[in-house]
Amino acid sequence: MPVDTSPRTATWTHVEGEWLPGNPPLIGPTSHAMWLASTVFDGARWFDGIAPDLDLHCQRVNHSAVNMGLKPLKAAEEIEALAWEGIGKFDGKTPIYIKPMYWGEHGSPGSVVSVDAESTRFALCLFEAPMGGHSGSSLTVSPFRRPSPETATTDAKAGGLYPNSGRAIAEARSRGFDNALMRDLNGNVAETASSNIFMVKDGVVSTPAANRTFLAGITRARVMGLLRQAGFDVREVALSVEDFMNADEIFTSGNYSKIVGVHRLDGRDFEDGPVTRKALDLYMDWAHGRTHSGE
C-alpha cells in the first residue's frame, strides 16, 4: 500500500504567496534538496497566546541559509509576520510548532553537488504539536559522536545533521532509554541527540561550552541569562560524562519542550531538583511576561 503522506496534525504551509493546508508536494526527485540535502530550517513555538523568541528563530534561519550556501529570500521580520498570520489559521487550543525552511532546487553550474544559491526556495510550515515532556527523561551515553565544523555544516540548523541524531535516539531506545547523551570528537559532552544539556553540582550550573560541534540554542541562551539574573553561577565549560554522572541535577533545554529534567543517566538516577524547577519557572514567567524586576 502507498504511504499516507498527510500530516498527523493540523498543518498549514505558506509557499510562494499562498497558504496551503496539509502536506503540499514541494520537493521532487530531481530537487537538489531531496538527494543532496541542501535544507535548513528553524523551529519556534506558539502556546498560551505567546511565541517566545520568535524573532530570534526567524533571524537564525537566515543565518543557517547563508552558511549552507543558500540565499535568504525573506527578511526575518517578514517571516515573523507570516508566522503570526499562520497562527491565526488554528483554533488556538493546541501548541504550534513554527518551522521556516529554505532549500535548494538545483546544483550550481559545473557541479551538481554544490547547491545553486539562485535556486533557493522558502516555505513556512506550522503544525499542531502538544508540548509535553516535562515529566522527565532518561539518557544513555551514545556510541555516536557529534561532527566537528570541519566534517559537517554544524554552523547551520541543517536537515542533513539530523539523521546522525536520529540513529543515536534509535540506538538509545533499543536499550530502554528516551534519548542519547552525545559527545564531540574529543570525547567531551556536547548535548543530547535533540536538545542542549545542563548539569548542577553544589549549586553551580554548567553547560557544555559552545565549540561549534552542536547548536548552542536560543532557549539555552535564554535559560542561561535568566538563571544568571536570578543569582545563579552559570558556566560554559568542557564537561565529561563523569562530570554528568557526578552531578546533583541534570536538565535539558530546547525549543520543542523547553526545560525537562533528566531522571536517569545510564545506571544513575536523579531527582527533579530545585534548580531544574527554578529554570522552568523562570523561563515560563519570562515567556508570559511575568518576570519580576531584576530577573
Task: Spell out the domain ranges in the chain.
Answer: 11-128, 137-288
Q: Parallel, antiparallel, or unpaired for β 249-254 and 120-128?
A: unpaired
Spatial neighbors of 18 by CB under 8 A, at least 6 apart, are none
Position 147 pLDDT exceeds 70 = yes
Nearest alpha-carbon partner for 284 in 59, 58, 47: 47
Q: What percent of the chain has pLDDT over 90?
A: 93
Q: What is the mean pLDDT of residues 190-206?
A: 98
Residue 134: the pLDDT is 61
Residue 116 cell numbers, joined: 545553486
* CATH class held by domain 11-128: alpha beta
Give the SS3 label for residue 217. coil
pLDDT-derived band of residue 294, with 50, 70 and 90 as boundaries? very low
Spatial neighbors of 81 by CB under 8 A, at least 6 apart, are none
Which amino acid makes up residue 133? G
Supply the CATH classification number for the domain 137-288.
Answer: 3.20.10.10
Nearest alpha-carbon partner for 286 in 223, 200, 218: 223
Q: What is the mean pLDDT of residues 178-194?
A: 98
E strand or H helix at 255: none
